[in-house]
Structure 1
Amino acid sequence: MVISSAFKFNLFLIITSCATSYGDSAITTTCTAIHQQNSPTAKCNYVKTNPGCDPKGYINYLQIFYCNFSQFPQLGFVLFLLWLVVLFYILSNTASEYFCPAVEHLSKTLNLSPAIAGTTLLPLGNGSTDVFSSIIAFTGTTDGGDIGLNSILGGAIFVSTVVVGVLSLLITYHRKIVTVDKPNFIRDVVFLLFTLSNLLIIITVGKITIWASLLFVSTYIIYILLVCYMHFHTTKTQKKIIDPNDDDYQTTTAPLLGSYDEENLTHPAEKLVIYEEQVQKRCIVTFFSVINTPISLPRRLTIPVITKERWSKPFLVISVALAPLMVALIWNTQEGKLGLKSSLMTYFIVGSIGIALATCTFAFTSSTRPPQKCLVLWYALGFLMSVTWTYLTADELVALLESLGNIIGMSPSIIGLTILAWGNSIGDLTANVAMAMYGGADGTQIAMSGCYAGPLFNVLVGLGFSFTFVSWSNYPVSFVIPEDPNLCETIGFLMIGLLWALVILPKRGMQLDHTLGGGLLVIYLCFLCIKLARAVGLLGDSSSNL
């Protein structure tokens, strides 16, 4: 974990340096007057000369749209939407293919119990996109804090209402009887309600100090300690109650997706149709693999992977050589934003380190099986580089969303509540539904815990670290929370959804059913309709939103 800690410290320096310029950006000219320009040429000149239109990421989207696609704006908008999909895919795919496996193997190597790992490493993997998006949004622009707050809260209300609602309705549809563990459920919901109450106080006050930020983040430590205590207490109690010699104690396990030999059960006349379908599927998979290569190959060449299923010594050697160079290049890209300077000597040193690591990897690893020693360092390096890619992608994603907001005139808060929140929560929806449907009662319990522990992690860690970074940069002056009167409304709907689950589940014997799921979906639809109606001016004063 030494490598991971060093990277976090460097990342901390980068983000706090970005936050140092936050106050300066507050007084610069914004790019909102772009729609007041009458001609495409005027808009292009405005984007080029106005400092408020400078790119916040690595690509100048506004200049591309208003200058390169001034005659074909529809084409430019479509290309931006496609690029938005690609960025969301890279975020989710990096988390599933690289980050989460590294977290899982780290927890096994460090002998962490499932309860402890489930409240520390796993939420970190599932919520990494939300956390990085929030931090980058807060430390990027004057509207970034608004996007960061609404993206975290929008993701939390989506997961706690839509995901839980879909889980409940699917379980009811399949006529499954699943009972949720009551103590763990009440603990997670009550802690989330307590956290939202504290956040509501912070928003009402309108500012936060560095000490209040640290206190807000430390709430997650208290939560973890409580989880550990309940886990060890439950384990101790079960050891006293369960008799290993009891026949009922002996259980058998089956694959999550079934264990039937479908080929032998299939009628011979249907085998030809199945074979043709398999051929078509192979062609489709091959086609998408070719398209996916430009997206997956750069990550494969820079993120070390030592799992047995994906083992490749050439890829490992190349990734170890390129990983330090990639970190140095990222550091160099911050030069314009942070005043950092990288010399040729820096690249020479970093390149030498990469070559040395690659040489050692080539000499001391087998071509047929992954390394068996120093696993913590290998997994930590994979963790480090997956975090690096997450940081890069989240940075570009926030920049693209802000540019799209300027192009269509949408409020940053609406962007955070819809596009950014949905994109960061799609992975939670698919993963939790799969776990609940194919993992049995235990899988449903894990999925339900993730629906509340995940948002709790995002709010406390994502917003907590964001508050800490910007408060530290403004110290001793308090950081002023972006004014958005609708934030309290969002928190109110989120708390209503939590209270609905807290009341309905115990009354239903902790069984998931259509009453719980339907009520949660109705709450989210009401929330979304009110937000969109206010955004387009149909409800209340929309001047603050457009």
Structure 2
Amino acid sequence: MDSQSPQDKARRLTVGSVLRSYVAQWRSQMQALSPPEQAAVLLIQPFTVARWLTIPDVRSHDRIQLALNTALSPLLILLFFNDFVDFSMPVAAFGGRALPLWSVVLLHSAVLSAVQWTITDWASKPAWMEALFLGMAFLCSIAWISIMAQELLSCLSTLGHIMSLSPSIMGVTVLAWGNSIGDLVADVALARSGAPVVALAGCYAGPMFNMLVGLGLSFIIKTVIMYPQPYGLHYSANISVSFGFLFVALLCSIVAVVLSGYRVTRPWGFCLVALYFAAMLTSLMVESNLMQV
């Protein structure tokens, strides 16, 4: 019977044994999948590895992952702020050659990674380091979401250009559906689980946050980048259509809820769905020049 504690076993680990355990675990997971599932896993494996390298797992005591996170997470954060600071901006000279900003950041983060490796072991890490990795994981997660959102917008713009669709139509259809499907599933699940008030509050709080905070921060960042030049908005008639239907829906919701004794009834739900389809039909008619706004 093995009398060694988990801490003693962890301290006897080596880099080689941990790497072999990675490979063995990956092989066992792949063997349990069907060929189509294996193909899908291999397709997304580069993105999975990239997230593993840059987003710390606070619950883990894996020295290898945490050391790589310390070395590579600053590069991801630097890429996130690339609109403010050029990723390849020369900041130092070495041997007669200018060093880009990313190489200097990588050098410093590698030194911090080496320090982190020396003050931790395979069994545990200092409590203050957990708080540090938690903040790093939060920032890196936001950076990944932002990068993926930028790529999604680029794909939508390319798709709209190929199909000769305006950005406003892509925004009120494909982008709006993709952005809201998660909220739809969560709100329906909350309502069915007996928390309709929470679901109803989320229906309005989520779009309000996107419009006020998301749009406000976007305008702030864009104007700071373009300063002192003004940022010119490209007007589209569908923007007026969308805001008009949104205003009508909110105003009518207030009146309907008050008249029904502060209850959201099923008929009013059908009215809101019909109003949404009317908004989509109007947007398509405006885009097709069948209606002037």
Matched, 1:409 2:164: yes
Partner of 2:280: 528
Partner of 2:64: 314
Matched, 1:455 2:210: no
Q: 2:243 aligns with which of 476, 491, 504?
A: 491
**Does structure 1 retain, via aligned residues, the 8 Å contact 2:76–2:140?**
no
Partner of 2:52: 300
Partner Cα separation in structure 2 for residue 338 and residue 371 of structure 1: 32
Partner Cα separation in structure 2 for residue 347 and residue 465 of structure 1: 26
**Does structure 1 retain, via aligned residues, the 8 Å contact 2:88–2:102?**
no
Partner of 2:234: 482
**Does structure 1 retain, via aligned residues, the 8 Å contact 2:54–2:69?**
yes
Amino acid at match of 2:110: I
Partner Cα separation in structure 1 for residue 50 and residue 207 of structure 2: 31
Partner Cα separation in structure 2 for residue 446 and residue 371 of structure 1: 38
- In structure 2, stretches of 5+ residues that fail to align are 1-31, 92-97
Deviation string 1:73-123 (CA, Å, 9 cap, x unpaired) is xxxxxxxxxxxxxxxxxxxxxxxxxxxxxxxxxxxxxxxxxxxxxxxxxxx
Compared with structure 1, are the counterparts of its residues 334 and 289 closer, same or farther at alpha carbon in structure 2 (3 Å cutoff)? Answer: same
Deviation string 1:323-367 (CA, Å, 9 cap, x unpaired) is 1234456678999x8994464364453233222332343344454
Pairs within 5 Å for 1:378-389:
378-389=133-144
Partner of 1:126: none
How far did residue 406 of structure 1 move? Answer: 1.8
**Does structure 2 retain, via aligned residues, the 8 Å contact 1:323–1:385?**
yes
Compared with structure 1, are the counterparts of its residues 295 and 430 closer, same or farther at alpha carbon in structure 2 (3 Å cutoff)? Answer: farther
Partner Cα separation in structure 1 for residue 265 and residue 120 of structure 2: 52
Farther off after superposition, 515-524 or 291-300:
291-300
Partner of 1:466: 218
Partner Cα separation in structure 2 for residue 471 and residue 334 of structure 1: 11
Amino acid at match of 1:536: S
Matched, 1:350 2:105: yes
Partner Cα separation in structure 2 for residue 299 and residue 317 of structure 1: 14
Matched, 1:445 2:200: no
Compared with structure 1, are the counterparts of its residues 312 and 533 closer, same or farther at alpha carbon in structure 2 (3 Å cutoff)? Answer: farther
Compared with structure 1, are the counterparts of its residues 363 and 403 closer, same or farther at alpha carbon in structure 2 (3 Å cutoff)? Answer: same
* Matched residue SS, 2:128: coil
Matched, 1:427 2:177: no
**Does structure 1 retain, via aligned residues, the 8 Å contact 2:222–2:231?**
yes
Compared with structure 1, are the counterparts of its residues 355 and 471 closer, same or farther at alpha carbon in structure 2 (3 Å cutoff)? Answer: closer
Partner Cα separation in structure 2 for residue 322 and residue 299 of structure 1: 10
- In structure 1, stretches of 5+ residues that fail to align are 1-281
Partner of 2:150: 395
Compared with structure 1, are the counterparts of its residues 375 and 452 closer, same or farther at alpha carbon in structure 2 (3 Å cutoff)? Answer: farther
Partner Cα separation in structure 2 for residue 525 and residue 427 of structure 1: 20
How far did residue 499 of structure 1 move? Answer: 2.1
Partner of 1:540: 291
Amino acid at match of 2:180: S
**Does structure 1 retain, via aligned residues, the 8 Å contact 2:76–2:143?**
no
Partner of 1:436: 191
* Matched residue SS, 2:127: coil
Partner Cα separation in structure 2 for residue 367 and residue 355 of structure 1: 19
How far did residue 314 of structure 1 move? Answer: 3.0
Matched, 1:323 2:49: no
Compared with structure 1, are the counterparts of its residues 296 and 511 closer, same or farther at alpha carbon in structure 2 (3 Å cutoff)? Answer: farther
Deviation string 1:139-173 (CA, Å, 9 cap, x unpaired) is xxxxxxxxxxxxxxxxxxxxxxxxxxxxxxxxxxx
Amino acid at match of 1:302: T
Query: Identity over the aligned pairs, expressed in percent?
Result: 33
Partner of 2:173: 418
**Does structure 2 retain, via aligned residues, the 8 Å contact 1:332–1:341?**
no
How far did residue 530 of structure 1 move? Answer: 1.4
Compared with structure 1, are the counterparts of its residues 504 and 369 closer, same or farther at alpha carbon in structure 2 (3 Å cutoff)? Answer: farther
**Does structure 1 retain, via aligned residues, the 8 Å contact 2:241–2:282?**
no
Compared with structure 1, are the counterparts of its residues 338 and 313 closer, same or farther at alpha carbon in structure 2 (3 Å cutoff)? Answer: closer
Partner Cα separation in structure 2 for residue 460 and residue 417 of structure 1: 18
Pairs within 5 Å for 1:331-346:
340-341=89-90, 343-344=98-99, 346=101
Matched, 1:516 2:268: yes
Greater relative CO (CA pairs within 8 A, separation 6+): 1
Partner Cα separation in structure 2 for residue 369 and residue 316 of structure 1: 12
**Does structure 2 retain, via aligned residues, the 8 Å contact 1:332–1:340?**
no
Compared with structure 1, are the counterparts of its residues 372 and 500 closer, same or farther at alpha carbon in structure 2 (3 Å cutoff)? Answer: farther
Matched, 1:373 2:128: yes
Partner Cα separation in structure 2 for residue 507 and residue 447 of structure 1: 21
Partner Cα separation in structure 1 for residue 223 and residue 245 of structure 2: 28
How far did residue 450 of structure 1 move? Answer: 1.9
Q: TM-score, normalised by structure 2?
A: 0.72
Compared with structure 1, are the counterparts of its residues 375 and 503 closer, same or farther at alpha carbon in structure 2 (3 Å cutoff)? Answer: farther
Partner Cα separation in structure 2 for residue 350 and residue 474 of structure 1: 26
